[in-house]
């Protein structure tokens, strides 16, 4: 028995080592992710809080208040009061401060990070002057659960579309199912469109079910139109499925497909604003996040759900998703391979 186990064990190891693409990817992926994350979150350490500083000057003067010298806090200068209040309400800022003749601050009472940022501010102010005043935010403060719901739904859509299609197509190719389909009049474009349609229907049913349940149980916020939100979800699903099919267009190894899909999933999940806002990140990082379909899905969905945005307001994001879907679908059809060799 041990001899048979060892024989299978050795054969599987040789199979893995002979698959140079998979072997190289297992070595390259963690290195690429580490260098990418170290660049994205470079500095003295990842900032734990994002605090807006309301002032007209573009440059931050840290001598205004001891709080501005606090480590692990990203201070972002803003000059538009209404925009600053909106970011506080939507958990993009953990705290908003203003230091002038009348020192004051604003905080979202439903923000856990805002609570601790407020404690740090009050401690620093007590050691300095102890005269800063707290002011109320105009309008209803948005709960974190309201803000994070689109992120959770989008993340679930991302994993379901990419792995549910990309990984399956690679398995079809490996076990010869695609080779048999090649003998039929079916074209690559038709096969890809059928895969997109099937996965889109399934993911939409799941997303609607999850959203309806959380909305009814938790009473999550919905200020906009359900049709607009549905359109965003449909275009987002199409773009994600098309991306998964593009990745799997020519791959024959399931291990390599898993590595490639993870290389897309993790940066997208970290940079698209699933769990936290990138408001305090650098402009390069914010611009890089726009290349991911998930960023446009979440930005437009949050605009509809939290701000009551109309279809015209989110049209740039919808056009971006349409363009990405067309590019992914065209390239996937062009490079699609039915058989392994």
Residue 115 domain flag: yes
pLDDT at position 280: 60
Residue 66 lies in a domain: yes
118 and 229 inside one domain: no
Residue 32 has pLDDT above 60, yes or no: no
**How many domains does the structure of the chain reveal?**
2
70 and 192 together in one domain: no
Q: How far apart are CA 128 and CA 66, in angstroms?
A: 7
Q: What is the share, in percent, of the chain residues with pLDDT greater than 70?
A: 81
Residues 172 and 271 in one domain: yes
Same domain for 315 and 181, yes or no, is: yes
Range of the domain at 61: 49-134
Whether 97 and 53 have beta carbons less than 8 Å apart is answered as yes
Given the structure tokens 């799941």, which residue do they identify?
Answer: 206
Same domain, 204 and 129: no
Mean pLDDT of 86-100: 82
| pLDDT exceeds 90 at position 319 | yes
pLDDT score of 222 more than 80: yes
Is pLDDT of 15 > 60?
Answer: no
pLDDT at 110 over 60: yes
* CA–CA dist 189, 237 (Å, integer): 18
Instruction: Please state, in angstroms and rounded to a whole number, the distance separating the CA atoms of residues 55 and 84.
Output: 11
Q: Highest mean pLDDT: which of 26-30, 124-128, 142-146, 261-265?
A: 261-265
Better pLDDT: 279 or 117: 117
Q: State the pLDDT at residue 269.
A: 82
Domain membership of residue 26 (yes or no) is: no
Decide: 253 and 19 in contact? Cβ < 8 Å. yes
pLDDT at 122 exceeding the cut of 60: yes
Q: Per-residue pLDDT tens for 280-302?
A: 666 777 787 888 899 999 999 99
Among 80, 106, 134, residue at a domain's last position = 134
What average pLDDT does the segment 128-146 reach?
69
Question: Using 50, 70 and 90 to split pLDDT, how confident is the model at 34?
Answer: very low
Same domain for 109 and 79?
yes
Same domain, 62 and 126: yes
CA distances, 12 to each of 5, 8, 172, 286, 339 (Å): 11, 6, 21, 43, 22
Residue 78 belongs to a domain: yes
Q: CA 122, CA 116: separation in Å to the nearest integer?
A: 10
Tell whether 71 and 127 lie within a shared domain.
yes
Q: What is the CATH number of the domain that holds 81?
A: 3.40.190
Average pLDDT (237-251) is 83
Are residues 76 and 187 both part of a single domain? no
More confident: 38 or 341? 341
Q: pLDDT (tens digit, 9 = 90+) per residue, 60-74?
A: 888 888 888 888 888
Do 210 and 319 sit in the same domain of this protein? yes
Better-scored residue on pLDDT, 20 or 265: 265
Would 254 be classed as within a structural domain? yes
Tell me the pTM. Answer: 0.69
133 φ, ψ (degrees, to nearest 5): -115, 145
Say if residue 295 is in the same domain as residue 171. Answer: yes
Model pLDDT, residue 27: 55
Q: pLDDT (tens digit, 9 = 90+) per residue, 170-200?
A: 777 777 777 777 777 777 777 777 777 777 7
Separation of alpha carbons 119 and 320, rounded Å:
41
Same domain for 108 and 166, yes or no, is: no
Q: List the single range of 49-63, 76-90, 175-189, 263-277 with lowest mean pLDDT.
A: 175-189
Using CA atoms, how far residue 248 sits from 14, 177, 255, in Å, is 24, 15, 12
Residue 27 lies in a domain: no
Sorted by sequence, the CB contacts under 8 Å of residue 280 that are 6+ apart come out as 47, 50, 74, 76
With respect to residue 265, please indicate whether it lies within any of the assigned structural domains.
Answer: yes
Residue 214 lies in a domain: yes
**What's residue 232's pLDDT?**
92
Q: Among 134, 157, 175, identify where a domain stops.
A: 134
More confident residue, 98 or 218: 98
Chosen domain end from 91, 106, 134: 134
- Cα distance from N-terminal residue to C-terminal residue, the chain: 35
């Amino acid at each position: 028995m041990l001899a048979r186990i060892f024989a299978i064990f050795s054969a599987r190891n040789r199979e893995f080592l002979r698959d140079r693409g998979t072997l190289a990817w297992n070595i390259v992926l963690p290195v690429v992710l580490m260098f990418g994350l170290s660049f994205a979150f470079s500095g003295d350490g990842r900032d734990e809080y994002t605090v807006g500083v309301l002032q007209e000057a573009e440059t931050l003067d840290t001598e205004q208040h001891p709080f501005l010298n606090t480590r692990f806090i990203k201070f972002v200068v803003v000059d538009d009061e209404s925009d600053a209040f909106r970011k506080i309400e939507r958990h993009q800022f953990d705290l908003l401060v203003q230091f002038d003749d009348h020192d004051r601050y604003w905080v979202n009472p439903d923000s856990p990070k805002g609570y601790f940022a407020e404690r740090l501010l009050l401690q620093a102010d007590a050691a300095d002057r102890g005269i800063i005043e707290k002011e109320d935010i105009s309008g209803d403060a948005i709960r974190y659960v309201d803000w994070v719901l689109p992120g959770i739904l989008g993340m679930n859509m991302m994993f379901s579309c990419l792995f549910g299609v990309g990984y399956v197509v690679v398995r079809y190719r490996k076990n010869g199912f695609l080779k048999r389909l090649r003998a039929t009049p079916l074209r690559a474009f038709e096969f890809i469109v059928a895969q997109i349609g099937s996965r889109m229907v399934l993911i939409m049913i799941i997303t609607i079910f999850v959203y309806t349940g959380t909305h009814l149980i938790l009473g999550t916020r919905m200020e906009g139109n359900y049709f607009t939100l549905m359109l965003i979800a449909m275009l987002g699903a199409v773009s994600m499925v098309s991306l998964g099919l593009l990745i799997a267009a020519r791959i024959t190894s399931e291990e390599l497909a898993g590595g490639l899909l993870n290389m897309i999933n993790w940066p997208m999940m970290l940079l698209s604003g699933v769990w936290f806002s990138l408001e305090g990140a650098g402009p390069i990082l914010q611009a890089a996040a726009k290349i991911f379909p998930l960023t446009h899905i979440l930005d437009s969905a949050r605009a509809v759900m939290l701000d009551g945005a109309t279809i015209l307001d989110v049209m740039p994001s919808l056009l971006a998703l349409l363009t990405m879907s067309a590019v992914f679908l065209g390239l996937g059809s062009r490079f699609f391979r039915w058989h392994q060799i």
